[in-house]
């Protein structure tokens, strides 16, 4: 059986940000059935569409950089696949682009090395713009950043400093702050938006959190930002 692989980028915004990762998977499975695409199915007693997803998005966080790989049994134009999905997706999920990829392309989870997030912040106490910048510089300069993470064995304190790769700060004229971060992703772990929520909690309130891009490891030393 022929297997044609597509990598699909979609956004998750509005009411969909409160949809769990598992429910998104179910919604996309229903979308594929309604779209009538020739989807390759897994073997076994309970065959399912052959799909592979990137890292789950925390509940309440929006994204313009969600991805999944889909295997079809017939080669179709990328735009045809995109239109079939767009016409059947639930509110808040929007297909942004579709690309054919090589059948043996590694999984998304094994390729992603970094993730970008953007936070919209509100000050909890009076701070000048200069003091805001100083506050974040002090946070960035800390040798350790300890947060509490939930594991199967219970709560655990973790130092996430080495996973924070960079940031940009913009203070808007309305007083709100745009805080952009780049974090590592891989076997050593990652930083979730709620980890930043813990670090910022005493001074800033997160009004919006959004995943904006992922970085894929490519051949050699090159990297590709999606």
Domains delineated in the chain:
4-105 (3.30.70.580), 111-225 (3.30.70.3190)
Residue range 142-169: average pLDDT?
92
Q: How far is CA 209 from CA 42, 86, 155, 178, in A?
A: 35, 24, 24, 10
Q: Quote the CA–CA distance of 19 and 61 in Å, as a whole number.
A: 10
State which H helix or E strand residue 52 sits in: strand 51-53
Give the per-residue pLDDT at 55: 93
Tell me if 225 sits within 8 A of 66, measured CB to CB. Answer: no
Give the DSSP H or E segment for 185. Answer: strand 177-186
The answer for residues whose C-beta is within 8 angstroms of residue 48's C-beta and 6 or more apart is 29, 41, 42
Question: 220 pLDDT exceeds 80?
Answer: no
Lowest mean pLDDT among 40-44, 54-58, 90-94: 40-44
Residue among 72, 92, 90 nearest 8 (CA): 72
DSSP label at residue 61: -
User: What's the confidence (pLDDT) of residue 180?
Assistant: 98
Position 87 confidence tier, pLDDT thresholds 50, 70, 90 = very high
Give the predicted TM-score (pTM) of the model.
0.91
Q: Is the pLDDT score of 194 beyond 90?
A: yes
Beta bridge mates, 164: 183
Find, among 186, 194, 195, 188, the residue nearest to 215 by Cα. Answer: 186
Confidence of residue 221 (pLDDT cuts 50, 70, 90): very low
pLDDT computed for residue 223 by the predictor: 54
pLDDT at 222: 47
Q: Tell me what percent of the residues of the chain surpass a pLDDT of 70.
A: 96
pLDDT of residue 1 exceeding 60, the answer is yes
Sorted by sequence, the CB contacts under 8 Å of residue 148 that are 6+ apart come out as 155, 156, 157, 158, 198
Model confidence at 46, in pLDDT bands (50, 70, 90)? confident
Confidence at residue 219, expressed as pLDDT on a 0 to 100 scale: 57
Average pLDDT, the chain: 93
> What phi and psi, each to the nearest 5 degrees, are found at residue 89?
-75, 150
Query: Among 8-17, 77-86, 101-110, where is mean pLDDT lowest?
Result: 101-110
Cα-flanking dihedrals φ and ψ of residue 13, to 5°?
Answer: -135, 175
Burial class (CB in 10 A: 0-12, 13-18, 19+), 225: exposed
CB 28 within 8 A of CB 36: no
pLDDT at 225: 60
Locate tokens 């399912």: which residue?
48
């Amino acid at each position: 059986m022929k297997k044609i692989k597509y990598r699909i980028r979609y956004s998750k915004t509005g009411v969909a940000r409160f949809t769990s990762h598992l429910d998104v998977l179910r919604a996309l499975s229903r979308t594929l059935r309604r779209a009538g695409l020739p989807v390759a199915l897994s073997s076994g007693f309970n065959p399912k569409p052959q799909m592979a997803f990137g890292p789950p998005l925390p509940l309440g966080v929006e994204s313009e950089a969600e991805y999944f790989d889909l295997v079809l049994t017939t080669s179709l134009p990328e735009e045809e696949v995109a239109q079939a999905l767009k016409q059947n997706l639930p509110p808040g999920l929007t297909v942004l682009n579709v690309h054919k990829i090589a059948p043996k392309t590694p999984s998304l989870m094994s390729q992603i090395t970094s993730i970008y997030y953007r936070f919209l912040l509100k000050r909890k106490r009076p701070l000048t713009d200069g003091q805001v910048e100083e506050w974040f510089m002090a946070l960035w300069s800390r040798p350790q950043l300890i947060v509490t993470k939930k594991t199967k064995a219970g709560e655990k304190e973790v130092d996430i400093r080495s996973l924070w790769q960079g940031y940009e700060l913009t203070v808007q004229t309305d007083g709100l702050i745009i805080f952009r971060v780049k974090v590592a992703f891989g076997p050593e772990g990652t930083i979730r938006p709620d980890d930043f929520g813990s670090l910022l909690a005493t001074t800033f309130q997160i009004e919006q959190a959004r995943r904006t891009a992922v970085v894929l490891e490519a051949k050699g030393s090159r990297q590709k930002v999606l």
